[in-house]
Every structure is written in C-alpha cells, then in structure tokens.
Amino acid sequence: MNGFLLVGAGGAIGAMARYGLAGLIGRLWPMGFPLATLLINITGSIAMGVFVGLMARFLPPNQEEARLFVAVGILGGFTTFSSFSLDTIVLFERGAWLQAGLYVALSVVVCLVGLYLGLLITRGGPA
C-alpha cells in the first residue's frame, strides 16, 4: 500500500507541474503547434535520465521508495514519455536493439492508431 501512496502523491505533484508549465508556455508562446507538450516531454525525459543516473551513482541499491515517488510518480505524472524514453534506453543498453526498435515503433504507431480508433468510435465515423 505504501507504494501506491508514494506513486499517487508523486503523480499529483507531477500532473500539477505539467498543468502549470503548459499554461505558462501557452501564455508566453501562443501557437497552434503543441510546443508545451513537446517541451514537457523533453524536460521530463532529461529529468528521468538525471534522476536515474544520480540514483545509480549516489544512492545505495534498492531505493524502491525514491524510484516510486520520483520516477513513477512525479515524472510519470509530469510526462509518461519520460518512462517510455527510459524503457527504450534500457533496452538499448542491454543490447536488445531489435526489441528497442520494435518497442519504439509499436508504441508510436499503435498508440496513434488507438487514439484515432477511439475518436472514430466516439465520432461515429472518419474525421
């Protein structure tokens, strides 16, 4: 149960940070391009890399609470793209190039198709 609370608390912080930053970016640079989402995904991915790197370098092994709160909770609530990025790099570092490529391709293509199908279902036909 403690893990759920850590992820939930971190997720709330991350989601509020994403909402606030997206609003700020939208006010500073209003445009049709999803700049806020792009910048949040980039920032979250960098933060995930920094956090995981610092954990590996400075914290004793098995720091599950810190990983749950920061990586899964805060950064997962801020952007799930950071988790996707970490999973992909872990596969690359393991030498699983084919799996990493397949993971990226399937994640992007299948998720886009899934979203489009969801829209088709709710709209009652092609857009």
List, as residue ranges, the binding site for Na(+).
Answer: 76, 79
Binding residues are 76, 79
* 60 DSSP assignment: P
Report CA torsion sign: 77, 85, 90, 111: positive
Two tokens, residue 108: 């992007």
Q: Which parts of 29-96 fold into alpha helices (H)?
A: 35-58, 64-66, 76-78, 80-93
Count other Cβ atoms within 10 Å, centred on residue 10: 21
* CA separation for the pair 39, 32 (Å, rounded): 14
